[in-house]
Amino acid sequence: MADPATLKEIGTELRPAPPGHEHGSLTAWIQDLIFTVDHKKLGFLYLGAGWMFFVAGGILALGIRTQIAVPNNHFMDAESFNQAFTMHGTTMIFFFAMLMVFGLANYIVPLQIGARDMAFPRLNAFSFWATFFGGIFLFLSYIFGPGLYGMGAAPDASWFALAPLTSRAFSPGNNIDFWSLGLLVSGVGSITGGVNVMVTIFCYRTRGMTLYRMPLFTWLILVTMFLVVMFMPPLSAAQIMLVLERFFGAKFFEAQAGGSPVLWQHFFWIFGHPEVYILVLPAFGVISEVVPVFSRKPIFGYPMMVAATVMIGFISAGVWAHHMFTIGMDSFSVTFFAFATFVIAIPTGIKIFNWLGTMFGGKIRFEIPMLFAIAFLFQFLIAGLTGIMLGCAPFDWQLNDSYFVIAHFHYVIVGGIVFGVFAGFYYWYPKATGRMLNKRLGLWNFWIFTIGFHLTFDPQHFLGILGMPRRIYTYQEGRGWDFLNMISTIGAFVQAVGAILFIVNMIYSARKGKVAGDDPWDAWTLEWMTSSPPPDYNFEQLPEVRSRRPLWDLKHPEDPDWKFE
């Protein structure tokens, strides 16, 4: 590790944040947030809003788990339960995970590529507010709208809103309209945000930073945003068709008019499958930053990591019907999609090997980001393997629409993505705030959340194997599901404690955290070259790079990367 004298010379010694960050009056602060076009503040807005929606989605999850902890329960009635799981899924995917992706991308990418802001700052602000408004509109359904039963008119046809359940005939209230209109608006926000990030990456990299010298997080965000731009429109298109059907009598999915409900599923999943890659690739990006830094080695096989990511991006467009194996497709289609699903496992699995290869021969430091990264690796491995099981269509004919699928995708989304988000937060919080997150709270956060995660979702694999289907608000005794559901519910509450500890840590450390300095982790990418937090203009002078690890080159002038790769 470079000695402090050298660090001081090249200007990365500890120094206080530049002026401009003192908080004035509350109204001035709020005005600033509402009108800002700065990528860092918008990043905060995205992330802050995302955590708010996380809490809402989490409360819904606790409600769901409480209802099905025991058989024949009466904690929630059927309609409220259907609303709860619909809102839980929709919120967590579109308004938690997506906001984490856009928030991290907004904050980190310009810093990593040595830019001063996003390509189109005002568009950036529009993207956030459109997305945010879509989420608020969705939740307004609970209090507005003439619902038929239960609380208000929250959407109740599951997060993928299967036709023809969503037609006027079977969903006469406005529940579905809150879903489609809210997501149409936030979809515009996401797509414009995706365009913005891609243009920034292509057109605002600092001198010397070729695409092949970009940090992997930025690479993964680039591919993610490509998927956003290409595959969110199908969802918007399907939702436009649904709105036309429900409000103007159009006939898109109506069986009585000769329409096909299966068409909705094709359109939805053409979006839906790339969507899960949109959510997971940024987590891969975080892991690709954290594992090298805390193993003290560069990522093993950078070119292959990039190639694998791009391959995943393209193949993800061709696997969608593995969500439809039980719809009654012909055997050729079923085989094709099973084949494509297995194929996409190859570049995905290879990434795990590359991360392993990075750790081998290293000197691993078990800081909190690395703990979350290691847990990610174990859990994503399992998630990938249950995905292979589901990709085998005949196996899926038993497991589809059961708790096994729920276990699988929560392993990906919570065990993978949320753990990646935690790793990213513990890693970059010092950069964004100038203070370290508290280590002791972090350890409690990590262990309690991990234990809770496993308690919740490990039993659900077995529930699926024992025949428990999804989306049932109650079940009878004697099906063999009682004990496992109880464990799962206990786990959910443990997870909640872990998550609360995280939020507490974030709030507490903002004032009381140890001062971080520019580069608390001794890392190598450009964001660590500027102060913590960075000034509004990001860098005093836009840096020039000659390799993938510019700070390594600065700290090790005798052994710079550009001599070797």
| Residue 132 CB, nearest approach to other proteins (Å) | 21
Identity of the residue, 348 or 445, whose beta carbon is nearer to other proteins in the bound complex: 348
Q: How far is the CB of 215 from other proteins (least distance, A)?
A: 15
Q: For residue 548, give the nearest of 140, 210, 107 by alpha carbon.
A: 210
Per CB under 8 A, contacts with other proteins among 132-191 are: 149, 157-158, 162-165, 170, 191
Interface pick for other proteins out of 62, 70, 78, 184 (rule CB under 8 A):
78
Paired tokens of 190 = 């996401």
β-bridge partners, 402: 469
If the CB atoms of residues 363 and 511 are measured against other proteins, the closer one turns out to be: 363
- Tell me whether the omega of the peptide bond preceding residue 71 falls within 30 degrees of 0, making it cis: no
Closer residue to other proteins in complex, CB, 454/500: 454
Q: Which position among 96, 102, 107, 267 is part of the footprint of other proteins (CB under 8 A)?
A: 267
Closest to other proteins by CB, 17 vs 343, is 343
Could you tell me how many residues of this chain bind other proteins (CB under 8 A)? 146
Interface positions, 518-557, toward other proteins (CB under 8 A)? 543-546, 553-554, 556-557
- Residue 469 β-bridge partners: 402
CB-neighbour burial class of residue 249 (10 A; exposed 0-12, middle 13-18, buried 19+): exposed
Site for other proteins in 439-468 (CB under 8 A): 462, 465-467
> Mask of contacts with other proteins, 482-501, x by CB under 8 A?
xxx-----------------
When binding is defined by CB under 8 A, the residue of 478, 511, 512, 558 that contacts other proteins is: 478
DSSP state of 402: B
Rounded least distance, CB 506 to other proteins, Å:
27
When binding is defined by CB under 8 A, the residue of 17, 52, 151, 199 that contacts other proteins is 199
Which of the residues 365 through 424 are near other proteins (CB under 8 A)?
Answer: 365-366, 374, 377-378, 381-382, 385-386, 388-389, 392-402
Q: CB–CB of 88/57 below 8 Å?
A: yes
| Separation between Cα atoms, residue 267 and residue 489, nearest integer Å | 34
Query: Which positions from 16 to 55 touch other proteins by CB under 8 A, shown as an x/- string?
Result: ----------------------------------------
Task: Produce one character per residue of 520-539: b if its CB has 16 or more CB atoms within 10 Å, e if not.
Answer: bbbbbbbbbbbbbbbeeebb
Task: Kindly tell me the burial class for residue 205, based on how many C-beta atoms sit within 10 Å of its own C-beta (0-12, 13-18, 19 or more).
Answer: buried
Q: Are 217 and 251 in contact (CB under 8 A)?
A: no
Yes or no: say if 406 and 460 are a contact pair by the CB < 8 Å rule: yes
282-341 residues in contact with other proteins (CB under 8 A) are 295-298, 300-304, 326-328, 330-331, 334-335, 338-339
Question: Among residues 44 and 376, whose Cβ is nearest to other proteins?
Answer: 376
Residues 17, 70, 262, 500: which binds other proteins (CB under 8 A)? 262
Answer yes or no whether residue 363 interacts with other proteins by CB under 8 A. yes
Q: What's the N-to-C CA distance of the chain in angstroms? A: 21
Nearer to other proteins, 29 or 149 (CB): 149
- Where does this chain touch other proteins (CB under 8 A) — which range of 90-98, 125-133, 362-370, 436-444? 362-370
Around Cβ 12, how many Cβ atoms within 10 Å? 21
**List 121, 474, 493, 537, residue binding other proteins (CB under 8 A):** 474
Q: Which of 285, 280, 287, 238 is nearest to 260 (CA)?
A: 238
The CA distances from residue 507 to 270, 421, 433, in Å, are: 39, 17, 11
Which amino acid, one-letter code, is at 444? W
Instruction: State the nearest-atom distance from the C-beta of 183 to other proteins, in Å.
Output: 14
Judged by CB under 8 A, the stretch of 88-96, 139-147, 246-254, 415-423 that binds other proteins is 246-254
CA-CA distance, 349 to 380, in Å (whole number)?
10
In our burial notation (b when 16+ CB lie closer than 10 A, e otherwise), range 398-419 reads ebbebbbbbbbbbbbbbbbbbb
Which residue in 34, 143, 257, 515 binds other proteins (CB under 8 A)?
A: 257
- Min separation Cβ 365 and other proteins, Å: 5
Burial class (CB in 10 A: 0-12, 13-18, 19+), 451: middle
Binding mask 90-129 toward other proteins (x if CB under 8 A, else -) reads -----------------------------xx---------
Tell me, what amino acid is at 166? Answer: T
Binder of other proteins out of 8, 122, 479, 514 (CB under 8 A): 479
**What minimum distance in Å lies between the beta carbon of 31 and other proteins?**
28
Phi, psi of 195 (to 5 degrees): -60, -45
| Six token digits for residue 169 | 């005939």
